[in-house]
Amino acid sequence: MVRIYVASKIGSWEAKGVHVTDEERDWIFLHPETVAKIDAFVRGNLQKAKEILRFGILGNMIRSLFSSDFEKRMFDRYWSGEGGTYTLTGAEFNDIIANGRSVSTRTPSSDSNNQVNGQATDVEIWDWYNNRRYNLTLGRASVLFSRNGSNSPIGFRDGFNFNPGGADGHRSWGDEAMTLIG
């Protein structure tokens, strides 16, 4: 009886023009308790769900959680499989720094991934958990400083990026889930 209910709901969403991928269909059948929430989302956000068909129902639900265009762009890169290195614009970098806060002491880095123009850097861990523009995308990241004693950040590195599977494909399933859903 539950399978018939789930199938009829999925059919009703598709009849409204909402794309449901095979993977999502399988997941929904395994988790029928989610049908009511998904149905409420589709009814409340039908136009948005139809505008962003490439994300499917689950992708649209997750995307609706983001409050800033930056978060949505980063999620779009992740969900579409584009991933890879993203180079911040000067304005993005400055805004990210202005809205973050240091949560560690500055330490010298020996990690070659933290070099800027081939030069070693000092690193501080910063977080954006209290900032609505970046909290669901950045969380925590490394802010890089020149070793010449400058107090101005010169770089940024987020090891928990939006590449599926993490920076080197070694992100744990739990961390991957947190990256995906914030």
Q: Alpha helices of the chain — where are they, by DSSP H? A: 2-15, 22-30, 35-44, 46-51, 56-63, 69-79, 90-99, 173-181
Where in the sequence is the domain holding 16, given as residue range(s)? 2-64
Residues 56 and 8 in one domain: yes
As for how many domains the chain has, the answer is 2
Residues 59 and 97 in one domain: no
The tens digit of pLDDT for each residue in 14-38 reads 888 777 777 777 878 888 888 888 8
Residues 94 and 55 in one domain: no
163 falls within a domain: no
Q: Which of 64, 79, 113 is the last residue of a domain?
A: 64
Residues 96 and 152 in one domain: yes
Q: How far apart, in whole angstroms, are the C-alpha atoms of residue 30 and residue 41?
A: 19
Per-residue confidence band for 161, with pLDDT thresholds at 50, 70 and 90: low
178 falls within a domain: no
Residues 94 and 149 in one domain: yes
The tens digit of pLDDT for each residue in 120-158 reads 888 898 988 888 888 888 888 889 898 876 788 988 887
The tens digit of pLDDT for each residue in 83-110 reads 777 888 889 999 999 999 999 888 888 7
Residues 110 and 56 in one domain: no
